[in-house]
Amino acid sequence: MSRVCELTGKGPMTGNNVSHANNKTRRRFLPNLNDVTLQSETLGRGVKLRISAAALRSVDHRGGLDAFLAKAKDVELSDRALKVKKEIAKAQAATA
């Protein structure tokens, strides 16, 4: 399982551990990923995703999963999230 957020594409970064003696060794900064179930109002069901804590705050800020996916770029989304986005768009088009 890769350490990449399914909604924002945020992944590991690299940097240095710096000791008191100013020795530098390489290290990885991993994103804060959580397994969550987000509710979709359009689909009427929950969607399980592995997203970062920052993405979870962004979803809440934009007003839910449906609103977040509507504005999200397809390049940043994972295959699973892209599939959910297309299902939501199809369901919204059917009701309109």
Query: How confident is the model over 33-77, as pLDDT tens digits?
Result: 999 999 999 999 999 999 999 999 999 999 999 999 999 999 999
Taking alpha carbons only, the member of 55, 51, 41, 57 closest to residue 80 is 51
Given this model, what pLDDT does residue 96 score? 78
Question: In whole numbers, what is the pLDDT of the chain averaged over residues?
Answer: 96
- Supply the pLDDT for residue 1: 73
CA–CA gap between residue 90 and residue 19 (Å, rounded): 54
Structure-token pair, residue 20: 């008191």
Give SS3 for 29: strand
> What token pair was written down for 32?
């804060």
Residues paired with 33 in a beta bridge: 52
**Are 89 and 71 within 8 A, CB to CB?**
no
Residue type (1 letter), 43: L
Give the model's pLDDT for residue 2. Answer: 87
Domains of the chain: 13-95 (2.30.170.40)
* Per-residue model confidence (pLDDT) at position 23: 98
